[in-house]
Amino acid sequence: ANIFQSTCTGVNERTFLAIKPDGVQRHLIGEIIRHFEKKGFKLVGMKLMQASEDLLKEHYIALCDRPFYSHLVEYMRSGPIAAMVWQGLDVVKMARTMIGETNPADSRPGTIRGDFCIEVSKNVIHGSDSIESARREISLWFHTDKLTCWAESTEHWIYE
């Protein structure tokens, strides 16, 4: 096991979250970050960027046979994206729960997609769907040595 993998479990588990171009245009960056901050997760990497077609095609490579693939890549290229890495116990699964279902129509109120969007093709946020995808996506979007490991002063108020 490499170092990255072995340091990314337990309270050091990491996930890749991205506020999509519609979320950025609709001024939801602060609101969305606030959800994860308030929950107790730790932000360890963040950048606002215009993603290239190559990066997006690679990011969504598992969906390349789906009819919406090219539309999806165009949507993700339509403006800046806020790319982030968040850390914490069970963060991959928990972030997905907080995000809601792929289709906002199936997402409960209180979830990000449940509260902030209506259509599946404009669903404001991405979150890795497994630890394996998180690992792949973080190394695709970030230089992992540039992620910031920092001690949070509130950590013992969040974890036993």
Of 95, 135, 133, give the one whose Cα is nearest residue 4: 135
96 annotated ligand-binding residue: yes
56 lines the binding site for ligand UDP (CB under 6 A): no
Q: Pattern of binders to ligand UDP over 85-124, x per CB under 6 A?
A: -----------------x-----------------xx-x-
Given candidates 129, 136, 147, 152, which one binds ligand UDP under the rule CB under 6 A?
Answer: 129
28 lines the binding site for ligand UDP (CB under 6 A): no
58 lines the binding site for ligand UDP (CB under 6 A): no
- Strand ranges (E), 14-152: 14-19, 42-49, 81-87, 125-127
Please say which residue, 4 or 69, places its beta carbon nearer to ligand UDP.
Answer: 69
Catalytic (active site) residue 156 = no
* Distance of closest approach, residue 148 Cβ to ligand UDP, in angstroms: 26
Exposure b/e, 76-100, CB count within 10 A at least 16 = b:
bbeebbbbbbbbbeebbbbbbebbb
**Spacing of C-alpha 129 from chain mean position:** 9
What is the distance between the alpha carbons of residues 100 and 92, in angstroms, rounded to a whole number? 13
The amino acid sitting at 45 is: G
135 annotated ligand-binding residue: no
111 annotated ligand-binding residue: no
Instruction: Considering the candidates 27, 126, 143, 156, report the single residue annotated as catalytic.
Output: 126
Of 20, 9, 8, give the one whose Cα is nearest residue 50: 20
The amino acid sitting at 124 is: V
72 lines the binding site for ligand UDP (CB under 6 A): yes
| Binding residues vs ligand UDP (CB under 6 A) | 63, 68, 72, 102, 120-121, 123, 126, 129
Q: Tell me which residues are annotated as active site.
A: 126
